[in-house]
Structure formats: C-alpha cells, structure tokens
Amino acid sequence: MFNPPILSYPMKTLALLFSVIALGAYAADEAKPAAAPAPAAAPVAAPKDVQVEVLDVDGKRFVLVKNIGSAEEFANFEQNVKVISQEKADATQVKQLSELALTTPEREARTRELEGKLARLQADNTAMAKAYGFDLSRQYTVIPTKLLILTALSNDDYIKLAAGKDFKADSVINGGDNKKFLLKDTVTGAVEVESFKLLVQRVLESRKALQQLVDLQPRLTKEEDKKKVEEALKSAQSEVNKALEEFKKARTYDLPNELTIQTAEAKLYTLLSDDEKKSLQAQVDSKKDEAKKDEKPVATPEKK
C-alpha cells in the first residue's frame, strides 16, 4: 500500500490557471426594488508607454489590469473576490425573497434589507476596482507566474533545521497558528507553472488509478478476475513510477508526500469586448503615430 501525496491548495492556486472567473454583474430583471450597483471600473485604456499586455485564450482576448506581486497580496485578493461574490449572491437571494413576499410589511422589510446589501456591495465593488482594477461587471482570468512549493515542519524538524550551520532564515515561511513551512522549491514563469501543474497532476492521477485497483482487489472472487487485476496493478504501479521519475528529472527532487502550493505572484487579466478591442487598438495606434512624429531624424555624415 502506498501513501498518496497530500496537496494543500489554500488559495486554489492551480485551479485558477487559464480559467475565467465568471462574475457577472448583479442586475434586476423586471421589478426593481432597488438599483443594482453601477460598474466602478473605468473603461480599459492604453497606458502612456503603449506597452499593452494582452492574453489570447480560446479566441478571447484579455488585457492585463493588475500584477499581483506577493503571496499575501494574492491571498487577500482571492479572499476579497470570495467575499464580494458572496455579497452579490446574498443580494440576489434577498431580491428573490422580496418578490415572493406575501404581505406589504414583509416586502418593505426585504426592500430595506436589499438596499443595505446593495449599498455594501457597491462600496466593496468600488474598493476592488481601486485596488485591483476588478469589477463585478467584468470577466477575468488569473495566471499564476510564481509558485512557492512548501512542506510542513514540525517543531522538532524546525529546531534541528535551525541548528544547522547552513540554515537560512528565509527558507522557512510562517503559516500562522505557529505553523512553519520549509520552502522546498520556487517555480517561476507562467509556462513553468503550467508544466509543474501537469507533472503533479500526472502523479496524482496515476496514483488514484492504482488506489482504485488496490481497493477493488479484495472484492473479487473469481480467479480470472484476480489475475486481470494483478496484471493491471503491475501496469498501474509502473505508470506511478514513471510519473515520479519524470517529476524528479524535471525538478531534481522527489515529490513530497505532503506539500502546500502557494501562489506568490500572478497576473490579473480582464476580458475585452469587441468594442473595447477596437478602442484599445485605436489608442495604441494613435500613440505609436505620436511616438514616430516625436522621433528626431538621425543626421547622416556629408560625403567629401
């Protein structure tokens, strides 16, 4: 029996890779007991230096709106997205309850409750727009560009590690609640992050397939079925070994049985509408033309 690695994704690090956070704006359809919050984010505009970073995914174009530069900032961002999404869901629920209210007092109470929730939602939406360029009326994708690969340290492990003459304080990260983690590896670059994810995914999937066969084996009664499973087990174990070897070859260390993957840096992109694509391109072209006009001609030496 083997022990599969336990991967902790406290911020759903890899699950966000190349996936769109679909957060549509709150909008009332027919009867509106209160107005929905207006979008707080300004239209996408080309920066002065004309360096616009875009990302094309499945025929859709995204533009960079925020570089998230630390694990703490990413954790705060994701927590804030979670909070504001819950606020939006709560407002939607209260709106539905107000429409189902059978008495005038109940309807008025629900309406007041909805107005309060919408006011809070709009305030937080404005704060998110200011901090991250994030607005509930838009769609986003998050691309992690740096991961920290951590393994948990017991108190005894930490004492032994800290006593070593080659100990480096920055190799240990405090995780709160007196938990400490050893920085095992750092993965930098969007392509490298995706490659790392695929390596880990292959190990997990191969081990899952092996475990399913291990669980199946005791329930079999026919000798023929037992022999088939034994052969399948050999093949599955071989696949696990290959996946682990591939991981070690790529990362130069064995995949730990327990690890935590933390996003340390990421890029936040927002989806552009067709009109925004045209507008942004026009701004970029205009700024390029201005830059060309400002260029001074290079003097050429006179021929003698």
3-state secondary structure of 95: helix
pLDDT at 304: 56
pLDDT at 51: 65
Q: Taking 70 as the threshold, does the pLDDT of residue 22 lie above it?
A: no
CA torsion, ordered 194, 199, 204, 206, to nearest 10 deg: 130
SS (H, E, C) 103-164: CHHHHHHHHHHHHHHHHHHHHHHHHHHHHHCCCCCCCEEEEEEEEEEEEEECHHHHHHHHHC
pLDDT at 282: 83
pLDDT in tens, 186-240: 999 999 999 999 999 999 999 999 999 999 999 999 999 999 999 999 999 999 9
pLDDT in tens, 109-168: 999 999 999 999 999 999 999 999 999 999 999 999 999 999 999 999 999 999 988 888
pLDDT at 297: 65
pLDDT at 303: 60
pLDDT in tens, 168-178: 888 999 887 78
pLDDT in tens, 35-65: 444 444 444 555 455 567 888 888 899 999 9
H/E run at residue 171: none
Share of the chain above pLDDT 90, in %: 63
The structure tokens listed for 268 are 């936040």
Mean per-residue pLDDT over the chain, rounded: 83
In this prediction, residues 269-285 reach a mean pLDDT of 87
Q: Identify whether the C-beta of residue 126 lies closer than 8 Å to the C-beta of residue 80.
A: no
Residue 118: burial class (beta carbons within 10 Å; 0-12, 13-18, 19+): buried
H/E run at residue 94: helix 71-100
* CA pair distance 67, 70, nearest whole angstrom: 9
H/E run at residue 65: strand 60-68
Give, in degrees to the nearest 5, the angle at Cα 49 between 48 and 51. 115
Burial call 91-107: b when 16+ CB within 10 Å, e when fewer:
bbebbeebeeeeeeeeb
The structure tokens listed for 290 are 């201005």
**How would residue 93 be classed by pLDDT, with cut points 50, 70 and 90?**
very high
CA distances from 117 to 36, 99, 157 (A): 10, 16, 48
pLDDT at 21: 32
3-state secondary structure of 39: coil
**How would residue 20 be classed by pLDDT, with cut points 50, 70 and 90?**
very low
Task: Name the residue ranges covered by the structural domains of the chain.
Answer: 6-10+145-264, 14-142+266-281
Q: Identify whether the C-beta of residue 113 lies closer than 8 Å to the C-beta of residue 34.
A: no
pLDDT at 302: 63
Q: Taking 70 as the threshold, does the pLDDT of residue 11 lie above it?
A: no
- What is the DSSP secondary-structure string of 199-251? HHHHHHHHHHHHHHHHHHGGG--SHHHHHHHHHHHHHHHHHHHHHHHHHHHHH
pTM value is: 0.74
In this prediction, residues 289-303 reach a mean pLDDT of 68
* CA pair distance 241, 203, nearest whole angstrom: 9
Q: Taking 50 as the threshold, does the pLDDT of residue 4 lie above it?
A: no
CA torsion, ordered 113, 119, 123, 125, to nearest 10 deg: 80
Pairwise pLDDT comparison (27 vs 219), residue with the higher score: 219
